[in-house]
């Protein structure tokens, strides 16, 4: 005879009844966290990796889609001929005016870019300065063209060391200036010496040519201020010769017709320009002096890290500017403090 169940202990019938009352939404034992992190740990890691890499793939596809849309946007500039900086998109072998075959880029700046090209009519290499497709740059370049044409007319024999502008034209909304192709600039020459400088004899040859050029620019019929004379804007005509030419008249103006307030690269900036005083042809002579010292020593004469430091370096060598200049200068307070009681 079976022993009776202890009082309070559920019978098998009771257990079955309790199981029947468990809702169908109760968690599957295989999905329990403890099981996933123990028996099924490898399977769990595999699932996590699949989810992670699926998300990463979707994100990469989305970013690529965004890039593609941006590229499509860039192609609409000037019917696809310009990039988003309004520079012409250079293509090797392209012909401008069915005459100038583009070879390779030479340089790039805020104005636009310069490329080497072959002139199939004159059968020679040329340098083409392609101006940005923006009104302010076009206006600036048109002034440069006017000044270059004046200088070239006055220098028909090509003896005053000024770059020759062959012609200019519009190409797909870009003003293009065609120049004779020159060699590398004086900064490149310094770099080739590991900034030890060139001989005094070669420096003299450069000085003679540059003084002749500035004397030519100062003639009454021209009265042109270059406004950005520096080693980078003086090019050798031939890599193996000492003949040079001045280039880049993009910041230039005629005496009495100041156009730009911010002129001259800092190392070669004259005290007049630093102080905000009206300037004339003498600012180019200041730049020339700085350049000649640098060509022989290999280092800039005044290498200020900013305008205040530039003024300090000038004063260390040459002393304070004359008082009458400081009194009329618009930027004196930027560099100097007036001592109480000082007259």
The residue among 287, 289, 279, 290 whose CA lies nearest residue 253 is 279
Give pairs for 94-99: CB < 8 Å, separation 24+. Answer: 95/120, 96/128, 96/169, 96/171, 96/176, 97/169, 97/171
* pLDDT recorded at residue 34: 67
pLDDT surpassing 60 at residue 297:
yes
Gap between the Cα atoms of 141 and 253, Å rounded: 12
* pLDDT recorded at residue 261: 76
What would the mean pLDDT of 60-66 be, rounded to a whole number?
72
Relative orientation angle of helices 200-217 and 282-297, to the nearest 10 degrees: 170
Looking at the whole model, is its pTM more than 0.95? no
Question: Both tokens of residue 135?
Answer: 């009104």
pLDDT surpassing 80 at residue 81:
yes
* Catalytic-labelled residue, pool 82, 119, 228, 284: 228
Relative orientation angle of helices 200-217 and 135-154, to the nearest 10 degrees: 100
Gap between the Cα atoms of 179 and 200, Å rounded: 30
* pLDDT recorded at residue 74: 47
CB 260 within 8 A of CB 226: no
Mean pLDDT, the chain, as a whole number? 89
What percent of the chain lies above the pLDDT cut of 70? 83
Residue 131, strand partner residues: 112
Gap between the Cα atoms of 72 and 53, Å rounded: 28
pLDDT in tens, 138-166: 999 999 999 999 999 999 999 999 999 99
**Band of pLDDT at residue 7, cut at 50, 70 and 90:** low
* pLDDT recorded at residue 208: 99
pLDDT surpassing 70 at residue 204:
yes
pLDDT surpassing 80 at residue 240:
yes
In order of their start, the domains of the chain are 95-156+163-180 (3.30.200.20), 186-334 (1.10.510.10)
pLDDT surpassing 80 at residue 296:
yes
> Can you say how many angstroms the Cα of residue 273 is from the centroid of all Cα atoms in its chain?
23
What would the mean pLDDT of 237-252 be, rounded to a whole number?
97
pLDDT in tens, 208-228: 999 999 999 999 999 999 999
**What are the backbone angles phi and psi of residue 175, rounded to the nearest 5°?**
-75, 130
Q: Tell whether the torsion through CA atoms of 246, 247, 252 and 253 is positive or negative.
A: positive
**Band of pLDDT at residue 58, cut at 50, 70 and 90:** confident
- Distances in Å between the Cα of 298 and the Cα atoms of 84, 197, 229 are 38, 4, 17
66 included as an active-site residue: no
Which residues contact residue 104 at a Cβ distance below 8 angstroms, ignoring those fewer than 6 apart? 92, 115, 116
Q: Name, of 2-11, 14-23, 44-53, 164-173, the range with top average pLDDT.
A: 164-173
């Amino acid at each position: 005879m079976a022993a009776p169940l202890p009082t309070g202990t559920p019978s098998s019938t009771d257990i079955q009844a309790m199981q029947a009352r468990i809702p169908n939404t109760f968690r599957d034992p295989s999905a329990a966290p403890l099981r996933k992190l123990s028996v099924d740990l490898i399977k769990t890691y595999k699932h996590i990796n699949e989810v992670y890499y699926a998300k990463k793939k979707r994100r990469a596809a989305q970013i690529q889609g965004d890039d593609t849309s941006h590229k499509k946007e860039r192609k609409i500039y000037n019917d696809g001929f310009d990039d988003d900086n309004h520079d012409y998109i250079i293509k090797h072998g392209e012909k401008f005016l069915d005459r100038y075959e583009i070879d390779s880029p030479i340089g790039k700046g805020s104005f636009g870019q310069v490329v080497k090209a072959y002139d199939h009519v004159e059968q020679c290499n040329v340098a083409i300065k392609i101006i940005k497709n923006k009104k302010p740059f076009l206006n600036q370049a048109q002034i440069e063209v006017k000044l270059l044409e004046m200088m070239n007319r006055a220098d028909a024999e090509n003896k005053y060391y000024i770059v020759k502008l062959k012609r200019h034209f519009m190409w797909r909304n870009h003003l293009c200036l065609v120049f004779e192709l020159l060699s590398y600039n004086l900064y490149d020459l310094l770099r080739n010496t590991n900034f030890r400088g060139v001989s005094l004899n070669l420096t003299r040859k450069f000085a003679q040519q540059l003084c002749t050029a500035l004397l030519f620019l100062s003639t009454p019929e021209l009265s042109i201020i270059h406004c950005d004379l520096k080693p980078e804007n003086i090019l050798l005509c031939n890599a193996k010769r000492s003949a040079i030419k001045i280039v880049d008249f993009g910041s230039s103006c005629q005496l009495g017709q100041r156009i730009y307030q911010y002129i001259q690269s800092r190392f070669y900036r004259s005290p007049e320009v630093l102080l905000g005083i009206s300037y004339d042809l003498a600012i180019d002579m200041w730049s020339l002096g700085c350049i000649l010292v640098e060509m022989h020593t290999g280092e800039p004469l005044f290498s200020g890290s900013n305008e205040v430091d530039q003024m300090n370096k000038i004063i260390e060598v040459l002393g304070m500017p004359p008082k009458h200049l400081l009194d009329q200068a618009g930027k004196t307070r930027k560099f100097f403090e007036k001592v109480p009681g000082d007259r």
